[in-house]
Amino acid sequence: MTNSGSTGSNALEDFDFEEMYQGNTDIGEKMPWDIGEPQPKLVALEAAGGIGGDVLDIGCGLGDNAIFLASRGYRVTGVDGSETALATARRRAETAGQDIDFTVGDATRLDGFENRFDTVVDSALFHCLSPEDRPGYASAVHRAAKPGARLQMFCFSDSLPGGFPVPAQLTEKELRDTFAEGWTITRLERGEYTSSMTPGTAQQMVADMTPDADLPAIAALNTDENDRVLLPVWHLTATRN
């Protein structure tokens, strides 16, 4: 992995998320983003007033963020490309007593959604897109959002240690270029994203997937009070023009 561009340590085509959700990969017993609760950064963002109105959770995965937002009184739609993930999300929502519209969709198209959402949440989807797909994503989200809507996005940054197996890591320039038209960026700051990995499981996963990884740097990543590794991300807030 390099810190100068969007290419991750693994080719984008190496990441088949449907296969991951079906358990058919070597990523480990638990996916790194499945923490069994909403992302703490999203919880803090909601408490600070960063969410409003009808919400689209794009790349909703297993549904924990969507379930949290629904529990806070928002009308939430969750879109993901994996039917397996959405099946789990629906079960979790039913268990939590939350009514959420989970639907399979392409984040670069968002067919059927126009001028609908007041907030769009992207919790670690954008860095899974190829450079060629990012403009389509920005256009699709713009079309799905109402004028004045906010995009709240968390994506892996160029501060990740070398060799960490992610589809892509993003520079500030790449983010600003992607959202230069149709959006006004009001915040772009570095932060940390909670994973399900401990330092030991993170090092083992990385060593198995990318033998030339910078393991000392990975071991030095911050952890939370539950010994979960915190991964460097960008937090971007943009307003739809």
Domain edges within the chain = 12-240
pLDDT for position 26: 61
pLDDT of res. 104: 96
Picking from 66, 63, 55, 238, the residue whose alpha carbon sits closest to that of residue 155 is 238
Closest CA to 241 of 184, 180, 185, 186: 184
Cα(70)–Cα(50) distance, integer angstroms: 15
Predicted local distance difference test score (pLDDT) of residue 2: 29
The pLDDT assigned to 209 comes to 84
Question: How confident is the model over 154-192, as pLDDT tens digits?
Answer: 999 999 998 888 889 999 999 999 999 999 999 999 999
DSSP 156: E
Residue 194: partners with Cβ closer than 8 Å, 6 or more residues away: 35, 39, 40, 41, 224, 228, 230
Total-model pTM: 0.91
| pLDDT beneath 50, residues of the chain | 1-7, 9-13
By CB neighbour count within 10 A (0-12 exposed, 13-18 middle, 19+ buried), where does 112 fall?
Answer: exposed
How far, in Å, CA of 218 to CA of 166, rounded? 13
Positive/negative CA dihedral, 232, 31, 5, 129? negative
Q: What are phi and psi for residue 117, nearest 5 degrees?
A: -110, 145
Residue that has been written with the tokens 């307003």 in this structure: 239
Distance CA 211, CA 90 (A): 37
pLDDT tens-digit series, residues 64-91: 999 999 999 999 999 999 999 999 999 9
CATH superfamily of domain region 12-240: Vaccinia Virus protein VP39 (3.40.50.150)
Which of left, alpha, beta for 131 (phi over 0: left; psi -120 to 50: alpha)? alpha
Phi and psi angles of residue 70, each rounded to the nearest 5 degrees, phi first: -65, -40
Burial 48-74 (b: 16+ CB within 10 A, else e): eebbeebbbbbbbbbbbbbbbbbeeeb
